[in-house]
Amino acid sequence: MPGTPTAAPAPAPVPADLPALWLRDNCPCTECRDPRNGQKLFQITELPAHPAVGEARSLTAADGGPGWQVRWEPDGHLSHYADAWLAEHAPLTPAPGAAAGPAVGDGRTETDKELWAAADLAGRLPEADWDAYTSSREVREQALADVVRLGFVLLRDVPCRDRMVLDVARTFGFVRETNYGELFEVRVEADPNNLAFTGARITPHTDNPYRDPVPTLQLLHCLTNEARGGDSGLVDGFHAAALLRAQDPEAFAVLTRVPVDFAFADARTELRAQRPLIDVDPLGRIREIRFNNRSIATLRQPASVLEEFYDAYRTFAELLQRPSLQLDFRLAPGDCVVFDNTRLLHARTAFAESGARHLQGTYADLDGLLSSLAVLRREGARA
Ligand code: OGA
Ligand code: ZN
Ligand code: ZN
C-alpha cells in the first residue's frame, strides 16, 4: 500500500521453505554467473522446470558459512547460499488483502517520497551551497537524496557562467539533449516557439509531456532576475494526485486510464506522445504526472470518455492550483533548481518584458541521479 514502510529483513529462511525455481535462479556459482560482473549466464528455460532441493547441508564458518549448500534434483547442481544473502532477500509477507506486494519501492513511486504542501517546507527548503556540494560527499548525497525524497533541491551560489547548467547536470548524471539543444535559454525572444520564452505567466506544468520517454529531471539556472515579477512556484504533483484519489477516486481512476495526447511543433520539429496524466505502477502507486495545459492536444476518444476525462482533468487542475500546495520562491542569480519532472510541476508569474530575466535550463534523467546517489552511499558506507 502507498506509504507503507519497507519491511525490515526477516531472519534467514531455510532453503527447503523457499520457492525452488526462484532459489535456483539465484544460484551464485560461477557456472550460473560470470564472476567478473555478476551477470547471469543461463536462460530461465535452461533450468529444470521443477527443481527441488534434494539435500540441504548447513555450512559453518569453517566450511564457508554460515549458510547452506544445496544439491538440486533432478540435475545434481550444487549451490551455496549465505545466510546473510537469504535474510536480505527473503520473500516478503504480503500486506493483508493486497493482490500483490507488499510495497518495496523502486525509488520512483509515492512509496519512496515525502509528499508535501507549501507549509511543510516553510523554513526548510532543501538547499545546498555550490562549493559545499562540489567539495563534500555528504552534502552531495543529501542534495541528491532531497531530489528523490522531496522532488527538488535548490543549489545556491552556482557560478553565473554561460552553460554552467550543463556542468551542474554532469555532477550527477547525463545531459539529455533535445530539439531545444543541449540547453535552452529562458528569456524573452522575438519569435518564441514556446510561451516560456515570453514574459507570460506560466501556470504549474511538467515539461515536455510530448516526449516519451519524458525527461525525468529538469534544471533551471538563474543568471539574471531583475524583472518585476518572474517569481517561481513548485507543486508536488504526487501530493495533488494523492489528494484527488482520496477526494474523488473515480476521477483519479479516469486520469490513470485515459491516454492523453500531447504535441509540440515548430518549423523543424513535430513531437507527439500519448500517456495518462497520472501514471501508476503495477501496484497502483503514483509514479508519473504529466500536466501541461499548453501542449495538451485535441483528444480523439469516444464522447463518453471525453466527458469523463474533462470532468476529472478539471478537478485535478483545480487541486493543482490550490495556493496551499504551491511553494513560492524567487530565483536569484546563482540559484539552480534541480527537480523531478515526473513529479513536481513548476510555474512562474508574469514578468515585465522590459526587465532583464535570464535562466538557462537543461534536462537530465533520474536513473543517472539514482545511480550517483547509490554510489555516493556505497562510498559513505565504506568510509
Ligand atoms: C520552462 C519554464 C519557468 C521560468 O522554461 O520550462 O517553465 O521560471 N520556465 O521561466
Ligand atoms: Zn549455479
Ligand atoms: Zn517549464
What CATH number does the domain containing 327 carry?
Answer: 3.60.130.10
Percent of residues, the chain, with pLDDT higher than 90 = 89
Q: How many structural domains compose the chain?
A: 2
pLDDT digits (tens, 9 = 90+) for 142-172: 999 999 999 999 999 999 999 999 999 999 9
Q: Which domain holds residue 27?
A: 15-89
Of 154, 359, 362, which is best to mutate to test ligand 1, by the most ligand atoms within 8 angstroms of its C-beta? Answer: 359
Q: Are residues 225 and 114 in the same domain?
A: yes
Task: Quickly tell me which residue has 525455481 as its cell.
Answer: 21
For residue 186 and ligand 1, the question of a CB distance below 6 A is answered with: yes
**One-character DSSP codes across 185-215:** EES--SS-SSGGGSS--EEEE-S-TTSSSPP
Question: pTM value?
Answer: 0.93
Q: Are residues 67 and 118 in the same domain?
A: no
Grid coordinates representing 226 are: 531583475
For residue 188 and ligand 1, the question of a CB distance below 6 A is answered with: no
Residue 136 C-alpha to ligand 3 middle, in angstroms? 30
Ligand nearest to the CA of 46: 2
Q: Are residues 286 and 170 in the same domain?
A: yes
Indicate whether 155 belongs to any domain.
Answer: yes
**Burial 74-112, CB ≥16 within 10 A → b, else e:** eeebebbbbbeebeebbeeeeeeeeeebbbebeebbbbe
Q: Are residues 117 and 73 in the same domain?
A: no
List CB-based neighbours of ion ligand 3 within 5 Å. Answer: 207
Q: Which of 27, 54, 89 is the last residue of a domain?
A: 89
Indicate whether 321 belongs to any domain.
Answer: yes
Q: How far are the Cα atoms of 6, 206, 331, 345 from residue 351, in angstroms, in the given order?
A: 45, 20, 13, 19
Q: Are residues 167 and 84 in the same domain?
A: no
Grid coordinates representing 266 are: 515548430
CATH no. for residue 51?
Answer: 3.30.2020.30
Q: Are residues 145 and 25 in the same domain?
A: no
Q: Are residues 126 and 220 in the same domain?
A: yes
Q: Which of 34, 56, 89 is the last residue of a domain?
A: 89
pLDDT digits (tens, 9 = 90+) for 3-62: 444 555 457 899 999 999 999 999 999 999 999 999 999 999 999 999 999 999 999 999
